[in-house]
């Protein structure tokens, strides 16, 4: 049981490790995708910001060139009215501002952008104030207005725009670095998880193999224990069904065998009793008597063990159930031979002992409907009758 629980635990751990590895790989894939998408979004936004700012700055330079043409006294350039060109250029700048403001920016970047806008608006307002004056007031005045009022505003606007671009570029660089760091960490985590997963699976596999070995060992131990138990049971059975003194099967074994046999088969059964055995015990003691019984039982086993099942059903009482193939007549002959064998002299402790033997024989049919006790009482009855009739004889019990 313990081995099974351990195996289940190992299996569960195996499954959890696999699931965790899969989840982590999936999680990291999602994270990597998010990092990539975020980086892409930030990068695109930064690039769009820088482009808008750069175009704004270029357009501001175009405005400045046109203002210089006005200062020089020109009202048109390449067939285009310069003031109209300036208006269009500021309109372009307004559009670029809207594009820029639609994007995400840091607070610092927006602060610088707002100040750039202030400078651009101041520049635009000043141009509008002097737009009619510049072409008509003469070069000296126009030059003074330009150098003293317009140029500083244009310079500051340009500086603020360039500062905004630089902040945006720095932010883009920082974001790229941050994304790279996130990407690296995600990859590192993925690698570590993969390594961890492989190690976990390896360890779990080794544990599983060890568990299997343990199970096999336990099963072998269990089988050995079962065998030992069977042996013990068998021994207990044998002990219960064996006469301790003679080693022959006892009365319980006879009952057990007969209960299976009666009603199912026909057989010849003979019971023997030593007529003077008590005298032996009384005369020479129980030790001699016991040894005498052992000699007799050994003799029976040796001479008639192949003729049927031999039993020592009490101290000096023996029984044989002849094999099925032994017929009635042969059974009578063998029963007589057994009776005489038991009665032959035997030497125990230097003493020659001999006892006449009475016996009863019965041919039992399946249809008689007797039970074990009834059959044995019948046999005992015939045996006692033989003893009453002087002993040393065999009675065949008729149906």
Partner 1 sequence: MNRYCKAALTGMLLLSMLGTAGCGSGSQTPAHTITVICKSQDSYWDATKLGAQDAGEEMNLNVIYEAPEREDSAEQYRMISEAISAGTDAIVLAPVEPDAFNDVLQQATAAGIPVLTIDSDVSYADRASCISTQNVSAAAIAGRYAVSLLEDGDTVGIISHAVSSQTAQERTSGFIGEVMGTSSNTPGDAPKEGGDAPQPQEGEGGGEAQPEGGDQPAEGGGENADQPADGSLPIPDAPAARALPEGSASGFKLLQPVDCGGDTVVSRDSAMQMIRDNPDLDLIYATNQPGTAGVCEAVATMIADGEIEAGQIKVVGFDYFGDSYGTNAYTYVTSGVLNGVIAQNPYNMGYLGVRYAEKLVNSEDVAATVDTGAALITADNINDDDIQWLVDPTHK
Give me the residues that bind partner 1 (CB under 8 A), please: 13, 16-17, 20, 24, 27-28, 31, 34-35, 108, 111-112, 114-115, 117-119, 121-122, 125, 140, 143-145, 147-149, 151-153, 155-156, 159, 163, 166-167, 174, 178, 181-182, 184-186, 188-189, 192-193, 196, 200, 203, 207
Nearest approach in angstroms of CB 21 to partner 1 is 10
Whose Cβ is closer to partner 1: residue 101's or residue 368's? 101
Across the chain, which distance is largest between two alpha carbons, in Å?
Answer: 178
Q: Residue 81 in contact with residue 132, Cβ under 8 Å?
A: no
- Between CA 255 and CA 265 the distance in angstroms is 15
Nearest approach in angstroms of CB 118 to partner 1 is 4
Whose Cβ is closer to partner 1: residue 103's or residue 189's? 189
* Sign, CA torsion 30/34/40/43: negative
Using DSSP's 3-state secondary structure scheme, residue 273 falls into strand
* Sign, CA torsion 128/133/134/136: positive
Q: What angle is formed at CA 189 by the lines to CA 184 and CA 193, rounded to 5 degrees?
A: 150
Nearest approach in angstroms of CB 148 to partner 1 is 3
Nearest approach in angstroms of CB 256 to partner 1 is 56
Strands 308-314 and 317-322: antiparallel
Using DSSP's 3-state secondary structure scheme, residue 12 falls into helix
Nearest approach in angstroms of CB 50 to partner 1 is 15
Tokens matching residue 183:
């990407």
Whose Cβ is closer to partner 1: residue 97's or residue 153's? 153
Whose Cβ is closer to partner 1: residue 124's or residue 317's? 124
Whose Cβ is closer to partner 1: residue 120's or residue 357's? 120
- Between CA 165 and CA 159 the distance in angstroms is 10
Nearest approach in angstroms of CB 183 to partner 1 is 8
Whose Cβ is closer to partner 1: residue 171's or residue 250's? 171
């Amino acid at each position: 049981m313990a081995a099974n629980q351990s195996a289940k635990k190992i299996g569960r751990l195996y499954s959890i490790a696999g699931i965790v590895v899969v989840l982590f790989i999936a999680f990291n894939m999602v994270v990597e995708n998010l990092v990539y998408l975020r980086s892409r979004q930030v990068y695109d936004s930064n690039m769009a910001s820088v482009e808008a700012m750069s175009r704004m700055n270029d357009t501001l330079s175009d405005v400045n060139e046109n203002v210089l043409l006005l200062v020089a006294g020109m009202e048109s350039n390449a067939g285009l009215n310069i003031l109209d060109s300036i208006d269009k250029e500021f309109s372009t700048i307004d559009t670029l501002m809207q594009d820029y403001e639609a994007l995400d920016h840091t607070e610092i970047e927006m602060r610088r952008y707002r100040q750039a806008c202030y400078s651009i608006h101041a520049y635009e307002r000043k141009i509008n104030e002097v737009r009619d004056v510049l072409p008509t007031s003469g070069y000296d005045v126009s030059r003074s207005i330009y150098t003293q009022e317009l140029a500083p505003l244009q310079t500051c606007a340009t500086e603020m725009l360039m500062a905004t671009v630089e902040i945006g570029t720095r932010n883009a660089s920082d974001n790229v670095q941050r994304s790279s760091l996130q990407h690296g960490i995600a990859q590192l985590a993925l690698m570590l998880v993969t390594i961890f997963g492989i190690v976990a699976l390896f360890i779990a596999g080794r544990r599983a193999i060890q568990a299997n070995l343990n199970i096999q060992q336990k099963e072998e131990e269990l089988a050995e224990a079962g065998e030992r138990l069977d042996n013990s049971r068998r021994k207990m059975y044998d002990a219960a069904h064996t006469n301790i003194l003679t080693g022959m099967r006892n009365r319980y074994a006879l009952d057990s065998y007969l209960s299976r046999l009666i009603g199912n088969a026909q057989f010849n059964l003979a019971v023997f009793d030593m007529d003077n055995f008590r005298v032996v015990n009384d005369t020479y003691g129980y030790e001699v008597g016991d040894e005498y019984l052992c000699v007799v039982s050994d003799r029976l086993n040796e001479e008639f063990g192949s003729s049927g099942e031999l039993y020592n059903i009490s101290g000096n009482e023996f029984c044989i159930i002849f094999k099925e193939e032994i017929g009635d007549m042969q059974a009578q002959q063998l029963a007589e031979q057994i009776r005489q064998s038991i009665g032959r002299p035997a030497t125990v402790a230097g003493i020659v002992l001999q006892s006449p033997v009475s016996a009863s024989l019965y041919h039992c049919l399946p249809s008689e409907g007797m039970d074990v006790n009834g059959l044995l009482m019948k046999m005992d009855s015939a045996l006692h009758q033989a003893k009453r009739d002087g002993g040393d004889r065999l009675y065949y019990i008729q149906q």
